[in-house]
Structure 1
Amino acid sequence: MRVYPDQLVRQLSPLKPCYLIFGDDPWLCETSKRTILDQAKREGFEERIALTQEAGFNWRELQDEWNSMSLFASRRIIELHLPQAKPGSEGSSQLQSLMQQENPDILLLITGPKLASEQTKSKWFKQLDEKGIYIPCATPEGPQFQRWLQTRIREAGLNLTQDAQQLLLSLYEGNLLAADQAIQLLQLLSPSSQITAEQLQHYFEDQSRFSVFQLADCLLANQQEKAQHILAQLQAEGTALPILLWGQFKELTTLLQLKQAQEAGTPLQSLWSQFRIWDKRKGLYQGALSRLSLNQIETALASASKIELKLKQQGAEDWTAMSHLCLLYDPKAHAHLSHIELG
């Protein structure tokens, strides 16, 4: 059964035989794990055995731990970490076998990175998911992050002005760990009085973390202010410019092909699966296609090619030109900037 981290507390009584925590957000993974362990301790699970599927890992060790008697407590927790989220054929068989050997004195806690959709369809995962609870720990974005942040502020008993909440949102979007640490610090600095945006600016530096994919989504949605902020953060974090260019070529080439097909009279509905565009991104592409002309998309692609050529010929990462390219997603900016040749 799939349960999201914010719903986990309501699904812990009684405890299931197995919990699967998979995801790339360290704060959500650790918090979910701690929530389960705290409940397990209340129910008498006091001994913990930690296993990691490393090179040469012997799956028989897991079976032995499952069958052995505890030396220190009547109930035990077996933590199994799968660094690649791939137990292999032997591990898959072993995990399925364990779920058929009911042991109310053993709690199996499996952790690992984010699962691909095909992994959640595997036999071992389905068997464990049927017996236990799967907690996907993906970093919330946009409105989901805003809701998460507001919940944490409320739970911490803090009184932030609307401007202060927006500033906190801007500073820490994509970094739950840093956001939670900031909230804990605010509890110490100002536990009862109202906190303004001006006060926050004195306390914190910008620690938001973004990805190339978030930049692409912002540009498709023409959220220029946020896109420029993400671009600056990616540069500050040392993101290689070729990675950003890869993302831009991918999005602009897709836009170009969609626009050409659209102008040829092909309905967009018939193109989504062909270009592997899923439901959550269809609106972004529709907005960009209605906003940008074919010539504007071609100009943006040409601009990306010039940045790539400069990088290959001179070894220069031109972040100013990259910022210029991002602005070309806005038709108004495009009209003023498209003729400008950068270094």
Structure 2
Amino acid sequence: MELKPERLAAQLAAEPLRPAYLVAGPEALLVLEAADAIRVRARDTGFGEREVFDADGRDFDWNALDATFRAPSLFSAQRLIELRLPTGKPGKDGAAVIADYCANPPGDVVLLVTAGDWGRQHGGKWSEAIAKIGHLVLAPQIRPHELEGWLEARLRQRGVRADRGAVQRLAERVQGNLLAAAQEVDKLALLAEGGTLDAARMDALVADAARYDVFRLVDAALNGQPALAARMLAGLRAEGGVVPALMGMVAMELNRVAALARVQARGGNLAAEFKAQRVWDSKQAVYRRALSRHPAPRWDRFVAMAGGVDRIAKGRVRVGEEPADAWLALERLLVAVAEPRAAGLVA
């Protein structure tokens, strides 16, 4: 049976623990909270022993996990066995072990599988076997247009009332960082002191928790979010960042997209190039959106401009040759990457 994370607590309270659970998705906070709910329920119902297996490489011993399922408990009559599966893909051997467990689960064992990503390519007979005897809890990424609703529900759960303006301001502050959002909501539950929060009161209570880092900066540009990229760049500058420290990641990502664009332009195998560029399945949509905005020659131009920004930052050009302000030059480049109509900024 498939459940949304917000339905899990009610389901756990309404029935005995199932023999198996699979909690998966890209939202780490939601996966963590769902897994914690299962752990708490197991502990409260007499599962006194917990064993954890990390299947994070090809050399993982699936036979050891299989043996553990069948071995008697040393300290408790009931055991919670956790399998951490970062890739969401157990491989042939792992899938067989999990399916065998589900075909005849021991009465004293609950299996909890957690995975950091999930999509159509991850499922198989092993996950179907878990869903048949237990629950599949999927934690999909909270999209930008869904964040306000998620925040509003979270505030309500914590007993905090906030008007629409306050919720919008909180969403702007956390910029999709659910862990930061959860921390802020917990803080608001202590500080709100009753009443309904408005935007001004929210500003006074909430720190700016946006994650200003180069990884999200580049993602904002590739995702076509020029205003967000500019804001994040300003945040990095305010936090004392320096342009040369950012340019390695910026140049690497632009080179990657340029290589993908050249393959796409000549009608080559884009899937193979994604693999060659080591782009994870979960990140391919970001690159595809970027590729749809600019032709291949323009991506090569962006790469060249990144080199120019780096030279400006290191003082290797004369004033008048290119913009002397490296921050301004980098902002123009990122905005042009995000918005085709701004491509003239780096022409």
Residues 22/197 of structure 1: CA separation in 2 closer, same or farther (3 Å cut): same
Unaligned runs of 5+ in 2: 275-280, 316-324
Alignment partner of 1:191: what SS? coil
Q: Deviations over 1:166-222 (max 9, x none)?
A: 221011123211111111111111130332333333433322237367414542xxx
Corresponding letter in the other structure for 2:176: G
Alpha carbons 1:99, 1:127 under 8 Å: kept: yes
Length, aligned pairs only: 318
1:80-95 equivalences in 2 (<5 Å):
80-95=83-98
Corresponding letter in the other structure for 2:8: L
Alignment partner of 2:197: what SS? coil
Q: Deviations over 1:235-290 (max 9, x none)?
A: 769784333344445667878999x99xxxxxxxxxx999999998899679958x
C-alpha distance in 2 between matches for 1:106 and 1:36: 13
Which residue in 1 is equivalent to 2:148? 146
Which residue in 2 is equivalent to 1:47? 48
Which residue in 1 is equivalent to 2:318? none
State the shift of 1:31 in Å.
0.7
C-alpha distance in 1 between matches for 2:11 and 2:240: 38
State the shift of 1:114 in Å.
1.7
C-alpha distance in 1 between matches for 2:68 and 2:126: 19
Corresponding letter in the other structure for 1:306: M
Q: Find out whether 1:327 has 2:332 as its counterpart.
A: no
1:152-231 equivalences in 2 (<5 Å):
152-209=154-211, 211=216, 214-216=219-221, 218-219=223-224, 223-231=225-233
Q: Find out whether 1:9 has 2:9 as its counterpart.
A: yes
Residues 47/252 of structure 1: CA separation in 2 closer, same or farther (3 Å cut): same
Q: Find out whether 1:103 has 2:106 as its counterpart.
A: yes
Corresponding letter in the other structure for 2:247: L
Alignment partner of 1:207: what SS? coil
Unaligned runs of 5+ in 1: 262-271
Which residue in 1 is equivalent to 2:247? 241
C-alpha distance in 2 between matches for 1:257 and 1:82: 33
Alpha carbons 1:215, 1:231 under 8 Å: kept: no
State the shift of 1:334 in Å.
5.6
Corresponding letter in the other structure for 2:112: L
State the shift of 1:151 in Å.
0.9
CA RMSD between the two structures: 4.4
TM-score, scaled relative to structure 1: 0.71
Which residue in 2 is equivalent to 1:19? 21
Corresponding letter in the other structure for 2:106: N
Alpha carbons 1:249, 1:304 under 8 Å: kept: yes
Which residue in 2 is equivalent to 1:265? none
1:52-131 equivalences in 2 (<5 Å):
52-53=53-54, 58-70=61-73, 73-115=76-118, 117-121=120-124, 123-131=125-133
Question: Among 7, 19, 35, which residue is 1:33 paired with?
Answer: 35
Corresponding letter in the other structure for 1:51: V
Corresponding letter in the other structure for 1:320: L
TM-score, scaled relative to structure 2: 0.70
Say which is worse superposed, 129-138 or 166-175, in terms of deviation: 129-138
Q: Deviations over 1:86-121 (max 9, x none)?
A: 545443332222112232332100123224643324
Alpha carbons 2:28, 2:116 under 8 Å: kept: no
